[in-house]
């Protein structure tokens, strides 16, 4: 495939190792998080009770009485503390393992995702909204497709100084408690990544001092008079999602998840639209007369590359699949030729 560089044997081996170790790290993080809060003795009317304190996902602090002090509750507390210590030790060990793996990834030049984009995506994932109301769309989605395929796409069509975040206005978005984002807003989450992020005059966009752009986008309201949610939080300077035609296809597309690697060798989760629908949508955008000519040519190149990658490497995703019914029939048919094997092989 002239458009792609396949990973060599060393890169392929370490990509597999990296994915496995990152998955193990995520499991360790999840287990360690389950021990957030405290389990302490609390006197009520002179009698010790075992009290559990924790924060609910909505940020509200909760307390629960486990029972009076007894051999059973003392054992419960001891077991909980031992399990918490074990989970923390496991997490620390896997973090160290991942740091070593990241160095290997750098040495083998496996890193692809720009560091600022990776940090934003990780922050969104840690906040609990990646794949739960927010997907990565636009050019950065291509990093997920190439990671799954085990290839490098021509950097000429992946280089970008912005990231598009597709908001599913049908879902209830809430930033998880414990992320130090007091107002639960996307703009505050971005500022946790880089303090210089500010909302621009275009209220759907944030920009930092280096000119990196973050756009919050969503499909056109249907019906037009409907007023679905347009923000993650309610702060005065929160980003307000811009409505764009055609995004309903990406919103309704099956989610595609892959583990990509950033420029410093660190892995991250990417949740993006199905590559078949991404390519068909990009092809449709490339034919719109109101699109700038330079952008239309880039859209076409991205559509062709993702379609060829899908047809050649992601053969479990045939273009005839029922999931593609989210596309209008005309859009589906116009893009069909991009996925033909004859068009995918030089």
The predicted-structure confidence for 318-343, as pLDDT tens digits, reads as follows: 999 788 999 999 999 999 999 987 55
With beta carbons less than 8 A apart as the criterion, state whether 317 and 286 touch: no
Residue 47: per-residue pLDDT: 92
Mean pLDDT across 178-194: 84
Average pLDDT over residues 59-76: 87
- Confidence grade of residue 315 (pLDDT, cut at 50, 70, 90): very high
What is the DSSP-derived secondary structure letter of residue 170? T
Q: What is the mean pLDDT of residues 29-57?
A: 86
pLDDT tens string 245-280: 999 999 999 999 999 999 999 999 999 999 999 999
Q: Give the global pTM.
A: 0.90
Please write the tens of the pLDDT for every residue from 125-179: 999 999 999 999 999 999 999 999 999 999 999 999 999 999 998 877 777 756 6
Instruction: Give backbone dihedrals phi and psi of 345, rounded to 5 degrees, phi first.
Output: -125, 130
- Does the pLDDT value for residue 192 go beyond 70? yes
Q: Give me the pLDDT at residue 330, please.
A: 95
pLDDT top residue among 110 and 342: 110
Residue 250 CA to residue 218 CA, distance in Å, equals 9
Q: How many Cβ atoms sit within 10 Å of the Cβ of residue 145? A: 25
Residue 57 in this model has a pLDDT that exceeds 80: no
Average confidence score pLDDT of the chain: 92
In this predicted structure, what is the pLDDT of residue 346?
43
What pLDDT was estimated at residue 276? 97
Residue 297 to residue 241: CA distance in whole angstroms: 26
pLDDT score of 169: 80
Predicted confidence (pLDDT) at residue 1 exceeds the cutoff of 80: no
- Residues 304, 156: contact at Cβ < 8 Å? no
Count of CB atoms within 10 A of residue 73's CB?
17
User: Span 89-114, mean pLDDT?
Assistant: 97
Closest CA to 116 of 190, 9, 166, 59: 190
């Amino acid at each position: 495939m002239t458009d792609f560089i396949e990973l060599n044997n060393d890169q392929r081996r370490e990509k597999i190792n990296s994915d496995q170790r990152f998955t193990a790290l995520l499991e360790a993080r999840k287990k360690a998080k389950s021990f957030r809060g405290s389990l302490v003795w609390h006197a009520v009317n002179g009698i010790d009770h075992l009290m559990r304190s924790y924060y609910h996902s909505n940020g509200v602090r909760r307390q629960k009485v486990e029972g009076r002090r007894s051999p059973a509750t003392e054992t419960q507390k001891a077991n909980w503390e031992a399990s918490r210590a074990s989970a923390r030790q496991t997490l620390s060990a896997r973090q160290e393992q991942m740091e070593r793996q990241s160095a290997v990834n750098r040495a083998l030049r496996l890193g692809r995702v720009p560091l600022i984009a990776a940090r934003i995506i990780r922050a969104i994932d840690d906040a609990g909204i990646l794949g739960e109301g927010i997907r990565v769309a636009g050019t950065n989605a291509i990093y997920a497709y190439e990671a799954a395929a085990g290839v490098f796409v021509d950097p000429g069509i992946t280089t970008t100084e912005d990231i598009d975040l597709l908001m599913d206005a049908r879902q209830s978005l809430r930033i998880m408690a414990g992320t130090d984002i007091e107002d639960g807003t996307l703009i505050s989450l971005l500022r946790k990544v880089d303090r210089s992020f500010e909302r621009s005059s275009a209220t759907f966009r944030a920009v930092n001092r280096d000119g990196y752009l973050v756009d919050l986008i969503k499909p056109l309201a249907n019906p037009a008079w409907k007023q679905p949610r347009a923000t993650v939080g309610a702060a005065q300077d929160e980003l307000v999602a811009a409505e764009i035609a055609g995004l309903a296809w990406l919103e309704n597309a099956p989610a595609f998840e892959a583990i990509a690697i950033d420029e410093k060798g660190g892995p991250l989760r990417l949740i993006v639209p199905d590559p078949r629908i991404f390519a068909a949508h990009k092809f449709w955008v490339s034919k719109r007369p109101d699109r700038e000519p330079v952008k239309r040519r880039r859209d076409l190149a991205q559509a062709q590359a993702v379609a060829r990658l899908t047809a050649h490497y992601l053969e479990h995703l045939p273009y005839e699949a029922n999931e593609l019914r989210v596309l209008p029939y005309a859009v589906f048919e116009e893009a069909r030729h991009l996925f033909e094997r004859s068009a995918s092989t030089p």
